[in-house]
Structures are given as C-alpha cells and as structure tokens.
Structure 1
C-alpha cells in the first residue's frame, strides 16, 4: 500500500509548526512587554495544538479500515482541507492572544479607543488628551439665580442632595439646559440626561469604574481630566480641568457630581439626592 499521500499530509503539519513558531516570535510588543507568564502560556498553547493536531491526523488514519484508508489517500483534497481547518484553529488562537495582550498591557489598551455615551456624557477611553491649563471658562450664557428661580426656568425637575443641604450658589446656563449647584469644594450639574451628548471627557488610565448609585449604574472617574461642553448650537467648548467625578442618571435627569475624592463620599452624596 502506498503511504506517500499520508506522509505529505503529516509533513504539512510540520511546516505549520515551523510557521507558528516564527509567528509567535514575530508578535513583538513595544516596551514594556506583556507579562512573561502570558507569553509562555500562549507559546505553549500554540505548540500543544500543533502537536495534537498532527497526532490526531495519524491516529485517524490508522483507525480506518484498509479499504477506507486507500480511498482516503486517493482523495487529493483531504490534506489541504485538514491544513485549512488547522490554520483556522491557529487564527482563533492568535486572536485570543491579541485580546489577552490588550487586557494585559497599558500600550495594548491605549491602542484601542472606545466611546461610552452615558447619561448625556461622552467618554472617550484611550490615549488621554492633554490636560487644559489656564483659567476655567464658564458655561455659555451662565448666570446666577436662586433655587426657586431655577426651578421655574428649566424643563426638568431639580433635585438637591440632602446630605449637603441647600446649595450656596446656583447657576443656570445655555438657555436653561444646565443647572449647576455649588457647595464648598463640590459641584453638581443637572441636565436632560436623555440628550445624546452634553459633556465630553477624554481619558487614559486609570479606566472609569462602574458603581451603583441609588440602585442604578453610575460611572466614577477618579483622575483629573479635561472637560468639554457641547452647547445647543455651535461646536464643543473646552471648559476647564475637572476633578474626580461621579456620573449617573436619575430618571430623565443627568447628574454630574464633581469634588468628592472617593467613591464612598460621592455615593453617599448621590444616594441622598431628592
């Protein structure tokens, strides 16, 4: 019986093993490199799958009856098809490796820019934007009002955190689109949270943290970051450098609490909003 076709098929797997080793060596990452245990695990997976695939090919052939074995070898398409399936498996392994790489290294995460639109805020996560400098800019059309006056000039109900009491200062801006309340070191912006984008933030690491606020999901941004505002008409405006911020939605109202330095403090204030 002629085993030449079987030898060609198995040698094809050997060539793929060499290609895979070259591929694993070519997957270089700028310093700092991924953790050594991740790299070793990926290389071991590649080599193990290559060896197991070749062994399965041999076992399957010797389990066949002689007549079936001869028919298998007479089929010229069997070896290419096996190699195609094997290459598909390797492509999946390499894709999984890239996911691990993005999760395991800062430069991998920074290469991917994701956009989170939440409670009227657009958060771009990736390479951080340069932090603004200079004097803060007010919101467009910003003016001081009393709390009762503000309630009559906006289309959404205004809420106050009972943990802080009545605000020391209230301002309305952009034709009643935003109301800002102030206490010493703390600012609470309220706006229509159903709008697609009112505020914009560009962040690098550390990444925003998901927290729970009064039974709903909120986003905690712990580092200083640049703050932009998108007015009802016109282009976005750079406002200032913002501090740690908690963002959540209370019914139709978007809430942006700036000033508390910890999630514990921020959530205590947010949970008291009435």
Structure 2
C-alpha cells in the first residue's frame, strides 16, 4: 500500500486540474430572485396531473378495443378495424337499386382461387365446401383483392382479403350497433343487424354502385387475412363458424 500511495502522489504532479468554477454569483442571484408563489407551484402541479391523466387515458384507449370504439364514436363516428371502416353515425336509407358486383368479379373454384389471390383461402369446417367461389378486383399482375365463399344459395357469405390493406369495405352500422367479441381468442367485431355496405376500390374511392343491405356480420383477422362472415346468424353461430376456419 505504501508503494501504491507513493506512486499516486508522484502521478498527481503530472495531472492538470482545472480551477473549479465560481458559482457565488449564480447562488446570490438565485437567493435574490422572488420566491415562487404557492399558487404558481400548485398550478404547475395541477397541469402535470392533468397531463399524466390524459396520457393514461390515451394508453387505455389504445389498449382496449371498447375504448377505441368509444373514442371513434365521440370524435368522428368511425371505427377502423382489420381493413374495414365501420361508420357508427345514423345509417342512410337502404339502397333501393340492385347492387353492382365487386370490380371484375368472376366465378372460380377453390383450387384456382388459391392461385388468383395472394393470401390463404380457408374454408370453415362448420360449413364445408362452398356452393360458389368468387374472386374480384384484380391488379395489373392478376392478383385478385377479394375472395368470396357463398353458402346456402348465397344466404351466407364469407369474404376474405389481405388484412394489411387499407379500408376495403365501408359499413354503415346505424348507430352504436357494433359490438366486440372474440374468435379463438382473437378480437372480433360483430354488427348484429342489417346495415348498408359499400366496396372501397384500390384508389380509396367508395363504389356507391356496389352499395347493398348486408345481414348481420362478424369481422375478424386471422394470419393477416381479414374475414367478414355475413348471414342470418346469431353472434354465437357466427363465432362457431369462424372458429372452425381451416
């Protein structure tokens, strides 16, 4: 230890230590400044509490699906979920004209549908093979945007599309009819009654000619594919069918 102490003392002679700054003037200025009033301090504390409360509320809105729905209802009357925009404003009168099909819609079979779309086409085991298969809205390379499975003479309809796309369908729920449920532990939206629905094309334009009155609908996402199951079904029946998707 004696040798180490000696070496450290010798080393100190080689070190240049700057003079400590003179803080006397700064301390005197601080002491001479008028003290903050308790009202100012309390005001700052109140603003801080409000900011923290607002941040917590925002986090809850982001984390909880009902929070998002409530915020959408209060601010814009819109709820965007899994590539579908649901308007919770009062619904317009139902369409009276016969709706046009989706853009470039055509019939196909399951085998070809797998080749024509860029996402898996899954069949719900609870319904079995579909009566008809449709694909619609191809891009320049021939990749179709939507695949549709029809059952029971078209009374039950299962649409599928890439859930990473921007809004593909616009639904007018007619008030706060949209409800939250689950499909195999995944978040899902349920619209219990008839509601107008329109198709939104690749340019983000609502195809008014496609507007029709849709039946009760379940919307969920699985493997980055969005599904909408439509028909005269209860929420429990719809969830059972959706949960059987292969």
Q: Give CA-to-partner distance per residue, 1:224-252, whole Å, 9 cap, x none.
A: 11111111236211321111000000111
Q: Distance in 1 between matches of 2:93 and 2:73?
A: 15
Distance 1:195 1:171, change over 3 A: same
Residues 133 and 150, structure 2, Cα contact 8 Å, conserved in 1: yes
- TM-score norm. by structure 2 comes to 0.65
The Cα of 1:120 is off from its aligned counterpart by 0.9
| Equivalent pair of 2:88/2:176 in contact (CA under 8 Å) | no
Larger Rg: 2
Deviation at 1:110, TM superposition (A): 7.7
Taking the aligned partners of 1:270 and 1:260, their CA distance within structure 2 comes to 14
Between 140-149 and 116-125, report the one with greater CA deviation: 116-125
Change (3 A) 1:260 1:267: farther
Q: Which has the higher helix share?
A: 1
The unaligned stretches of length 5 or more in structure 2 are: 1-36, 51-71, 139-143
How many residue pairs get matched? 187
Q: Distance in 2 between matches of 1:249 and 1:129?
A: 27
Task: Give the match for residue 197 of structure 2.
Answer: 227
TM alignment of 1:18-57, pairs within 5 A:
none
Residue in structure 1 matched with residue 216 of structure 2 by the alignment? 244
Matches within 5 A, 1:65-214: 113-175=76-138, 176-184=144-152, 185-214=155-184
Is the Cα contact below 8 Å between 2:168 and 2:201 reproduced in 1? yes
Q: Give the gaps of 5 or more residues in structure 1.
A: 1-76, 93-108
User: In the aligned structure 1, how far is the partner of 2:129 from the partner of 2:185?
Assistant: 24
CA distance in 1, matches of 2:235, 2:173: 18
The two structures, once aligned, show a CA RMSD in angstroms of 3.3
